């Protein structure tokens, strides 16, 4: 029931709070995209759902208004990347923008060796974040320390690579597609592949094809957004705030429960969910008219639905 109302509301495209799926151009930072969107749309509250390197392109989910409350759903979601790796050269940034730190002859490396090396990076792996990254040490981003010539030890992080596949072999470069979970660094993977081949490597091209439900096929560029702003129809490109929560179950509240809910009060759970709900389970809560109200969580003590992130007005 809630699903059909949501589909209707999305088709109407009347929401001013929501997400834009931006295809980021190379040479601009993710923060720079946020500033540009803010300036073009004249919205006060704008953020993004996961940093892309300045030289990278592809999907950058931009959250506007109340949708910023749900940005974690994008940050923690799975991602898909297509990355080009060049053998024979390592750099201090692990990509083409850095200073060369090592050169090797890659001519003896064959495609089957690369494919075998890729197998070592499937599943749960450990990655050392690059020095040129936004991670902070004592309040300072690592890239600031790196630019000043300071290198600090980085603790390896466990990340999950769901799929990695060689899709093009053109030595000394090759192209892979990667499906991964939160915390993955494409530049670290390129560097580590070089080491796994007893050689050197760095990332030359990176495109993010997917971030959670946002896909490159449905994205728009900043230039397209600017044109839509001029035409006065830019909001038609927005996805509603609940777009990033579609994998969660949906519940519909009656008018009295809705009123209590929007004032921060829990409401009683009835029906099958009262018997089968798991404590802490997240759901999308809607009015009978299909208005998205909040992200709620199941409290088995009641049992209740407790509002966690309310978006609708009381």
3-state secondary structure 115-126: HHHHHHHCEEEE
Least-confidence region, from 58-67, 124-133, 208-217, 285-294: 124-133
Return the pLDDT at 269. 85
Q: What is the pLDDT of residues 142-172, one digit of tens each?
A: 666 667 666 766 788 899 999 999 999 999 9
Q: What is the pTM for the complete model shown?
A: 0.88
Report the relative pairing of strands 267-268 and 304-310 from DSSP bridges.
antiparallel
What domains, with CATH codes, occur in the chain? 2-77+213-244 (3.30.70), 79-211 (3.30.2350.10), 248-310 (2.30.130.10)
3-state DSSP call for residue 81? strand
42: left (phi over 0), alpha (psi -120 to 50) or beta: left
Catalytic residue among 17, 53, 95, 242: 53
Q: Where do we find the tokens 């993004």?
A: 48
Query: What's the pLDDT score for residue 148?
Result: 63
* Separation between Cα atoms, residue 116 and residue 269, nearest integer Å: 52
Q: Say how many residues make up the chain.
A: 314
HSE on the CB side for 205, CA within 13 Å?
Answer: 9
Cα 303 to Cα 129, 220, 255, 274, 294, distances in angstroms: 43, 43, 19, 6, 18
Measured on CA atoms in the order 145, 149, 153, 156, is the torsion positive or negative? positive
Q: Is 102 exposed, middle or buried (0-12, 13-18, 19+ CB in 10 A)?
A: middle
**Mean confidence (pLDDT) of the chain:** 89
Give the separation between CA 59 and CA 27, rounded to whole angstroms: 15
* Contact present, 209 and 198 (Cβ < 8 Å): no
Nearest to 248 by CA among 165, 159, 308: 308
pLDDT score, position 197: 98
Q: For residue 7, what pLDDT is reported?
A: 40
Say whether 112 is catalytic: no
**For residue range 19-72, what is the model confidence (pLDDT) as tens digits?**
999 999 999 999 999 999 999 999 999 999 999 999 999 999 999 999 999 999
Q: Of the candidates 60, 53, 95, which has an alpha carbon nearest to the alpha carbon of residue 79? A: 60
312 DSSP assignment: S
pLDDT in tens, 115-131: 999 999 999 999 987 76
Residue 248 CB neighbours (<10 A): 15
5, containing H or E segment: helix 2-12
Q: Quick one: pLDDT at residue 280?
A: 86
């Amino acid at each position: 029931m809630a699903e059909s109302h949501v589909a209707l509301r999305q088709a109407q495209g009347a929401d001013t709070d929501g997400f834009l799926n931006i295809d980021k151009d190379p040479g601009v930072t993710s923060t720079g995209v946020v500033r540009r969107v803010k300036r073009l749309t004249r919205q006060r509250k704008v953020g993004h759902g996961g940093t892309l390197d300045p030289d990278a392109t592809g999907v950058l989910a931009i959250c506007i208004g109340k949708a910023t409350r749900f940005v974690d759903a994008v940050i923690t979601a799975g991602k898909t990347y297509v990355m080009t790796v060049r053998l024979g050269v390592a750099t201090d940034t692990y990509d083409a923008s850095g200073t060369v730190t090592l050169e090797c002859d890659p001519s003896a490396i064959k495609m089957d060796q690369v494919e075998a090396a890729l197998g070592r990076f499937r599943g749960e792996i450990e990655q050392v974040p690059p020095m040129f990254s936004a991670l902070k040490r004592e309040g300072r981003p690592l890239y600031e320390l790196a630019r000043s010539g300071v290198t600090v030890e980085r603790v390896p992080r466990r990340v999950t690579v769901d799929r990695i596949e060689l899709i093009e072999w053109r030595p000394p470069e090759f192209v892979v597609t990667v499906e991964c979970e939160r915390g993955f660094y494409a530049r670290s993977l390129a560097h580590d592949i070089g080491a796994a081949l007893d050689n050197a490597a760095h990332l030359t091209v990176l495109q993010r094809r997917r971030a959670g439900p946002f896909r490159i096929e449905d994205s728009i560029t900043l230039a397209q957004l600017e044109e839509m702003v001029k035409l006065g129809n830019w909001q038609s490109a927005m996805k509603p705030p609940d777009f990033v929560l579609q994998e969660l179950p949906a519940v519909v509240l009656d008018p009295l429960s809705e009123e209590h809910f929007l004032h921060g009060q829990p409401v009683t759970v009835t029906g099958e969910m009262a018997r089968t709900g798991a404590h802490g389970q997240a759901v999308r809560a809607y009015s009978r008219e299909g208005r998205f109200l909040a992200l709620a969580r199941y409290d088995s003590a009641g049992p209740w639905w407790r509002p966690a992130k309310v978006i609708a007005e009381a």
